[in-house]
Every structure is written in structure tokens, then in C-alpha cells.
Amino acid sequence: QVQLIEFGGGLVQAGGSLRLSCAGSGRPFSVYAMGWFRQAPGKDRELVAGIDRSGGTNYADPVKGRFTISRDNTLNMVYLQMNSLKPEDTAVYYCAAGDIYSAHLSPGNIDYWGQGTQVTVSS
């Protein structure tokens, strides 16, 4: 079992930055691919960024060049640095862990989810 807790969400103006953090407990992070997903009202949950066990990354096209995912396996932490935020980035952001080798995560191969943290970007 793995428990995931996100923090760092909030309200920011367009063009601003936020850093999301995800703390894990239970089984060590190092055995999982980790990811950040988001879900806006009325939309499906979508992958924002994934990172595999070796540190290889994968980003959704809308966030490439603006967001950076990283992990610290010694601390059981995953981070999402979000820069140049846009109103369309507004969503609930979820930390996720999947017992797969690839950073190309999808909701169907996630084993554990955090409870989510709200990110709101005002125009």
C-alpha cells in the first residue's frame, strides 16, 4: 500500500508559478512510475507529466516547456514545478503512482492516487 498526499496548490495569476509536492508513505517510491494528472470540471482526468523509475520524463503537449516533474526517491517525494501558468491550467491536480516501467502513464495503469489539490489560475 502507498498513501499519497499533495500540497502546494492555490490561486495564482496568469503568468505566475506554483510548485506542487507529493509525499508518499508505505512502499518506497522507487518501485513506481510517478505522475501528475489533472481534472477540470466537466473534463476527463488527463496526464500532465510522468516520470519513470530512472528519471525519464514525459509531458503532455500543453505543458511542455512550462512544467517540470522531478522526484526524490530518498525522501519519497515527487514535485511538479509549474511556470507561465495559464487560466486553462485550472484544475484539480492529482499525484499518482503506477507499477509500470514507463513514464507514459494513463488513468488505467495507476495503482494509487492522492486526494488532489486545487490549482486556480486567474486571468
Give the model confidence (pLDDT) of 82-96 as tens digits. 999 999 999 999 999
Torsion of CA 101, 97, 108, 6, to 10 degrees: -150
Q: Residue 3's pLDDT band (boundaries 50, 70, 90)?
A: very high
pLDDT at 29 over 90: no
Confidence grade of residue 52 (pLDDT, cut at 50, 70, 90)? very high
Average pLDDT score over residue span 52-64: 96
Asked whether the beta carbons of 110 and 103 are under 8 A apart, the reply is: no
